[in-house]
């Protein structure tokens, strides 16, 4: 199993310099990846940063991390632009880039700009957008979401990101993950990135999810879990291997 820090892109981390500090701490502490949320949080309160700008800064100042979004609501983005952004970050960090993609769970981020938040419309735009991205960019695409349609969509791409770590902790059990992996029905070339709040010495928790089929552990870092000093302390303590 590999381990990644998954950082909010709003609040404290609306400043890409703060995100960069977390990413550098993650690399020094032995984390394998650094992923960023993709929210337009300013429409419902806090300031937010563009995830691809943040990832570009991280790519320039780190050497070994896999970088990506978790997840990008592709229905509110131009897929050709996302392809260009992903390819640009990939050129900066030697090819270790993942596009996490999903429907997007906050209706305000669509409705505030006159876009349709209907899930069926977003699903069609997501599927159409994914095809555009694949035509223009050959990097990994992982699909976020727990629903049966999300799992069917994930089976057509390169990985699955179960939605398993709200602010109060993990809600998907290893058994839930195992059922999802079985439903998706892919082999060893398929990644499953499950999220949860772990302590540095809690290797047994992550091992349960690895046994269920998870290939990545995503450790969420955001203002409702840690203040800025607490976030750095958790990251510096390293993954729960």
- 40 located within any domain: yes
CA dist., res. 107 & res. 81, Å (int): 22
What average pLDDT does the segment 7-17 reach?
98
Report phi then psi at 158, rounded to 5: -110, -5
Average confidence (pLDDT) over 171-196: 94
Q: Is residue 212 part of a domain?
A: yes
Domain that holds residue 43: 2-236
Task: Indicate the pLDDT class of residue 164, thresholds 50, 70 and 90.
Answer: low
Above 70 in pLDDT, residue 44? yes
User: Within a domain: residue 241?
Assistant: no
Compute the distance between CA of residue 221 and CA of residue 42 in angstroms, rounded to an integer: 19
* Adjacent-strand bridge partners of 99: 69, 141
- 26 domain residue, yes or no: yes
Residue range 100-145, pLDDT digits in tens: 999 998 999 999 999 999 999 999 999 999 999 999 999 999 999 9
Q: Output the domain CATH number for residue 35.
A: 3.20.20.30
CA distance 59 to 196: 25
Residue 17 located in a structural domain: yes
| CA 224 – CA 79 distance, rounded (Å) | 31
Count of domains forming the chain: 1
């Amino acid at each position: 199993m590999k381990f990644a820090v998954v950082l909010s892109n709003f609040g404290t981390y609306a400043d890409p310099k703060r995100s960069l500090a977390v990413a550098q701490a993650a690399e020094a502490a032995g984390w394998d990846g650094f992923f960023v949320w993709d929210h337009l949080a300013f429409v419902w309160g806090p300031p937010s940063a563009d995830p691809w700008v943040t990832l570009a800064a991280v790519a320039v100042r780190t050497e070994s991390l896999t970088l990506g979004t978790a997840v990008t609501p592709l229905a509110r983005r131009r897929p050709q632009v996302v392809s260009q952004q992903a390819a640009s970050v990939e050129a900066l960090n030697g090819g270790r880039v993942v596009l996490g993609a999903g429907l997007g769970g906050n209706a305000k981020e669509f409705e505030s700009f006159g876009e349709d938040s209907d899930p069926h419309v977003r699903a069609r735009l997501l599927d159409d957008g994914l095809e555009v991205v694949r035509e223009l960019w050959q990097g990994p695409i992982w699909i976020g979401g727990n629903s049966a349609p999300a799992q069917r969509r994930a089976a057509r791409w390169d990985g699955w990101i179960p939605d398993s770590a709200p602010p109060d902790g993990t809600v998907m059990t290893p058994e839930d993950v195992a059922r999802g992996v079985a439903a998706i029905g892919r082999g060893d070339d398929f990644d499953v990135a499950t999220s949860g709040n772990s302590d540095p010495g809690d290797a047994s928790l992550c091992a349960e999810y690895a046994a269920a089929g998870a290939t990545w552990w995503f450790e969420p870092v955001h203002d409702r879990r840690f203040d800025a000093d607490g976030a750095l302390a958790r990251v510096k303590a390293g993954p729960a291997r």
